[in-house]
Structure 1
Amino acid sequence: MEYISTRGNVGKIGFIDAFLMGLADDGGLLVPNEIPAVSAEKLKQWQNLSYQELVLEIFSLYTNDEIPQEDLKQLVNDSYATFRDPQVTPVRKLKDGLFLLELFHGPTFAFKDIALQFMGQLYTYVSKKLNKKIHILGATSGDTGASAIQGVRGKEGIKICILHPNGKVSKVQELQMTTVQDENVLNLSVEGNFDDCQRIIKDLFADLDFKSNNHLCAINSINFVRIMAQTVYYFYSYFQVVKETGVEQPLNFSVPTGNFGDIFAGYLAKRMGLPVNKLILATNENNILERFIHEGVYKPGDFRTTYSPSMDIQVASNFERYLYYVLGEDAAQIRELMDSFKRNGEIVIGGEALALVQAEFAAHGVQGQECLDTITKYKAETGYLLDPHSACGVSATEVRSGQGEVTVSLATAHPAKFNEAIELCGIEQEFPEQIASLFNKPQRQTMVDGSQEEIVRELVKFYNA
């Protein structure tokens, strides 16, 4: 297994080099040069594995034995040892035909923990093995930052800086990042929105001299290891639903998404051989991706602040990976499209390519009141409390799932992380102790304007301290 860029100007590289490169040096995104195929026979062999055992099987398809098997096993076990459920990502039945994949049992109560706890362990491993300084730089719409910080806080040889949009994450998300006092952690609270933060991150990674001189490594889903780790729970949940229903059939997966990373992991799982019917893309009022699925037009609009802030994203960083595959792995065409997008602010596809998109995906943009109504409805009817992102996923299943189909909807966060929306539903919830204790801790963050120059100054000062 070797890795190449969607834009075609990075030679084939190995797994660890791809992990450390993060964003491809030509500005594209790294992908495997060949998607591994998993046979029906192999799926049967995997169906009774524990989550950790399944991780090892899937990772082994991508890592080229660059990490000795015993070391990889230790990394995996350490990554998931802190999860509160022994299944790591358990599946709950909400009603006939609808299952909920709970992805919030990690240390920061969000789905980002699944990949980022492993990436934290892997960065620590690589830093020690290669005697290499690692400076992690990332942007967050709320959950990535807390999870990434949790994965590497206090680790020798590693520093981490996270940009988050000031006032545009939930209070709990902010506290999970800014109450961490370890000296190897810097939180920059940026005036602007997540797209502004993400654009600055991409620009800094595209500056190859700055990237090299400052030992930059990526934690966002521009890093393929994020995607690789997230494919596992698609396979795992499929096996759990088959056991529950006793029927082997392709499943729908409904995925709350803003950056296209989590749903791209589902697409990758399908390409590997997982029996998937439709991937249902659930967005909120920032519904650029919904319009793309329906019309083939990818064009950012006016940014909206919503009840599901982790999805308040207009420019999805993983979208380029999907374009690469749906347009026939044509790197020259991707270069041209992304250059055009930078100039004109839109991408348009049609014909056979759009037909293929619509064969693989469905989409629904969940409006604010619809999100709150879904939370209220399912609490009343089932006793289950959905966070607003998970509610968008469930709401989309009601609109886009066909008669007789079975759907797994991804529950991406614990409701305690988004109490602002829960209170609007007239629901009082009890916070887990780990979250309740955050409100009594001092915060540490640096306020910056949205200029790249000021952010660079803070980064250089932090990295050289």
Structure 2
Amino acid sequence: MKYISTRGGMEAAPYSAVLLEGLATDGGLVVPESLPQLSAAQVEGWRSLSYPELATEILGLFATDIPRDELAELCRAAYAPDRFVSERIVPLVPLAGEQGPGEIALVGLSEGPTLAFKDMAMQFLGQALEYVLAKSDRTLNIIGATSGDTGSAAEYALRGKDGIAVFMLSPQGRMSAFQRAQMYSLTDGNIHNIAIAGVFDDCQNLVKKLSGDLEYKREHNLGTVNSINLGRISAQIVYYFWAWLRQTDAVPAAERAGYEVSFTIPSGNFGNILSGHFARSMGLPIRRLVLAANENNVLDEFFRTGIYAPRSAAATFATSSPSMDISKASNLERFVFELLGRDPQRLSAAWDELERTGQIDLRAELPRFETEFGFQSGTSTHADRLATIRSVFETSEIIIDPHTADGVKVAREFVEPGVPMLVLETAKPAKFPEVVFDATGQQIGMPEHLAGLLDLPQRVTDMPDDEQQLRSFIAERAV
């Protein structure tokens, strides 16, 4: 399989090459030339596989330039039992009292080392990047932006890796104390934390500016592990198939083919739900992909109106689900590329319109959002989060984090009779103890293996929103 750019200006490249690039060479996003198509029999044949084995099968459809036995070893290392709390890696947890007209269950994606769903893709990406760099005798300087969980997941996956340095940008004062401690307490020499004066979108814009400067990018071997990296998107596809297989384990074999489930996905940068869109396009029987936004609900507005209008940094709210405090979703470009018939000229014209007017008008395509692609969306507020965390705790004795609460709140609005609704869990509630206490009155203790985390000394460089200062910082420390 080869990969092309949404902007049409990049020569088709293999998986290993696009892992190292992040952004396409023409400033667009990398997408497969075409998605693999799977039959019901093929998917059914994966039912007995472990998570690493399933990852090997699905990623093998994308990473066709990596020998299968070596890919299998990368997946075994990424999803080794000692890296995850649950033996199943990704457990499904039904919510009591949520059956109503259709069952709601949580897809447990936060069992990894940093207690967030980003571990699911980042653990694989860490293994794959080190493998590709060793094969090509290259080094890589990762530049990334995080609104909360991407940073720690990337740093824990890449700490101490040969030939890799990480420069992770985060917004000053916009993450929880737990999230800051996870990142800033790392002392590995190849990890560099940079706190930018601004919001996540400012961090993301800096990453895009440096990644879009091909001369600087090549001189300093820049890459990215944000969700604009195709490796992240492909690895996330795995857990959609895993969740469908586990949800249908109890369904009679004769009824499994075409058995539809829906997913609700808390979304900020659109990468996680995009992976679900790819899984659906590959043939997985997904009825609905429900996007759950917080108060920064630009994406909800887009899927309801057909108008995409990102907000300024000043208009981006600081909320109690901070990892979704994003107003400009990088991965939306990949979906719009599909929406516009995979036409690079139409895509480029749409982004020129965005640059010129501050919005993209796709109202003519709005009917297709749901009928063809299965998308629906909703918004959750702080009051909704507290009420949802409280109600789930009272009915199921399960405590969920505020981002997952956004998902459950919106999922309840779109449950259909006879169609299971699977909510993608975002993080462990221990990362947000203040919100959990406000909602339930419960004091959440730190997981045993992270005891003392908040007391560790922290190492971070504060920096203004200054592109030149960031360039100099990276140039001085690049490997």
TM-score (norm 1): 0.97
Q: Note the 1:304-343 alignment, pairs <5 A.
A: 304-343=317-356
Comparing 294-303 with 418-427, which one deviates more in the overlay? 418-427
Q: Partners of 1:90 and 1:335 in 2: how far apart? A: 41
Match of 1:447 in 2: 462
Aligned mate of 1:141, from 124, 127, 147: 147
Match of 1:284 in 2: 294
> Does residue 57 of the first structure (1) align with residue 57 of the second (2)?
yes
Q: Partners of 1:242 and 1:447 in 2: how far apart? A: 49
Q: Partners of 2:124 and 2:52 in 1: how far apart? A: 11
Q: Helix, strand or coil: the match of 1:314?
A: coil
Q: Note the 1:387-402 alignment, pairs <5 A.
A: 387-402=401-416
RMSD: 1.1
Aligned mate of 1:116, from 115, 119, 122: 122
8 Å contact from structure 1 (residues 159, 185) kept in 2: yes
Q: Partners of 2:355 and 2:431 in 1: how far apart? A: 34
Deviation at 1:245, TM superposition (A): 4.7
Match of 2:380 in 1: 366
Q: Helix, strand or coil: the match of 1:105?
A: coil
> Does residue 104 of the first structure (1) align with residue 110 of the second (2)?
yes
Match of 1:74 in 2: 73
Q: Note the 1:187-336 alignment, pairs <5 A.
A: 187-246=193-252, 248=256, 249-301=259-311, 302-336=315-349
Q: Partners of 2:39 and 2:7 in 1: how far apart? A: 30
Q: Helix, strand or coil: the match of 1:136?
A: strand
Deviation at 1:19, TM superposition (A): 1.1
Deviation at 1:343, TM superposition (A): 2.1
Deviation at 1:408, TM superposition (A): 0.4
Deviation at 1:350, TM superposition (A): 1.9
Deviation at 1:402, TM superposition (A): 2.4
Q: Helix, strand or coil: the match of 1:122?
A: helix
Match of 1:93 in 2: 94
> Does residue 166 of the first structure (1) align with residue 178 of the second (2)?
no
Structure 1 unaligned regions, length at least 5: none
Q: Partners of 1:436 and 1:229 in 2: how far apart? A: 30
Q: Partners of 2:151 and 2:316 in 1: how far apart? A: 21
AA in 1 matched with 2:402: P
| Residue deviations 1:384-404 (CA, integer Å, cap 9, x gap) | 001000111111111122233
> Does residue 153 of the first structure (1) align with residue 159 of the second (2)?
yes
Q: Partners of 1:376 and 1:402 in 2: how far apart? A: 23
AA in 2 matched with 1:255: I
8 Å contact from structure 2 (residues 177, 454) kept in 1: no
Q: Helix, strand or coil: the match of 1:357?
A: helix
Q: Partners of 2:381 and 2:307 in 1: how far apart? A: 20
Q: Helix, strand or coil: the match of 1:84?
A: coil
8 Å contact from structure 1 (residues 172, 435) kept in 2: no
8 Å contact from structure 2 (residues 261, 421) kept in 1: yes
Q: Partners of 1:196 and 1:434 in 2: how far apart? A: 33
Comparing 249-258 with 403-412, which one deviates more in the overlay? 403-412
Deviation at 1:48, TM superposition (A): 1.9
Deviation at 1:85, TM superposition (A): 1.3
AA in 1 matched with 2:336: L
Aligned length, in residue pairs: 462
Q: Partners of 1:228 and 1:39 in 2: how far apart? A: 19
Q: Partners of 1:100 and 1:245 in 2: how far apart? A: 18
8 Å contact from structure 1 (residues 294, 358) kept in 2: no
8 Å contact from structure 2 (residues 22, 223) kept in 1: yes
| Residue deviations 1:111-133 (CA, integer Å, cap 9, x gap) | 00011011111111122111111
> Does residue 344 of the first structure (1) align with residue 357 of the second (2)?
yes
Aligned mate of 1:437, from 430, 452, 458: 452
Q: Partners of 1:430 and 1:18 in 2: how far apart? A: 41
Deviation at 1:440, TM superposition (A): 2.1
Q: Partners of 1:389 and 1:400 in 2: how far apart? A: 17
Deviation at 1:276, TM superposition (A): 0.5
| Residue deviations 1:331-370 (CA, integer Å, cap 9, x gap) | 110011112212221011123x211113211101101100
Deviation at 1:257, TM superposition (A): 0.6
Q: Helix, strand or coil: the match of 1:409?
A: strand
8 Å contact from structure 2 (residues 51, 79) kept in 1: no
Q: Helix, strand or coil: the match of 1:142?
A: coil
- Misfit runs of 4+, over 6 Å: none
Q: Partners of 1:21 and 1:179 in 2: how far apart? A: 28
Q: Helix, strand or coil: the match of 1:372?
A: helix
8 Å contact from structure 2 (residues 6, 344) kept in 1: yes
Q: Partners of 2:250 and 2:201 in 1: how far apart? A: 40
Comparing 418-427 with 109-118, which one deviates more in the overlay? 418-427
Deviation at 1:7, TM superposition (A): 0.8
Match of 2:43 in 1: 43
8 Å contact from structure 1 (residues 256, 410) kept in 2: yes
- 1:393 and 1:244, CA in 2 relative to 1: closer, same or farther beyond 3 A? farther
8 Å contact from structure 2 (residues 142, 167) kept in 1: yes
8 Å contact from structure 1 (residues 133, 215) kept in 2: yes
Q: Note the 1:371-386 alignment, pairs <5 A.
A: 371-386=385-400
Aligned mate of 1:129, from 135, 143, 147: 135
AA in 2 matched with 1:354: L
Deviation at 1:221, TM superposition (A): 0.7
| Residue deviations 1:434-458 (CA, integer Å, cap 9, x gap) | 3332112110000001111121121
AA in 2 matched with 1:71: E
Match of 1:178 in 2: 184
Deviation at 1:153, TM superposition (A): 0.7
Q: Partners of 1:54 and 1:118 in 2: how far apart? A: 13
Match of 2:27 in 1: 27
8 Å contact from structure 1 (residues 168, 309) kept in 2: yes
Aligned mate of 2:473, from 458, 461, 464: 458
| Residue deviations 1:58-97 (CA, integer Å, cap 9, x gap) | 0111112x22222111111111111121211111111421
Q: Partners of 2:11 and 2:415 in 1: how far apart? A: 41
Q: Helix, strand or coil: the match of 2:127?
A: helix
Structure 2 unaligned regions, length at least 5: none
Deviation at 1:240, TM superposition (A): 0.6
Comparing 450-459 with 55-64, which one deviates more in the overlay? 450-459
Q: Partners of 2:68 and 2:288 in 1: how far apart? A: 34
Q: Partners of 2:107 and 2:36 in 1: how far apart? A: 24
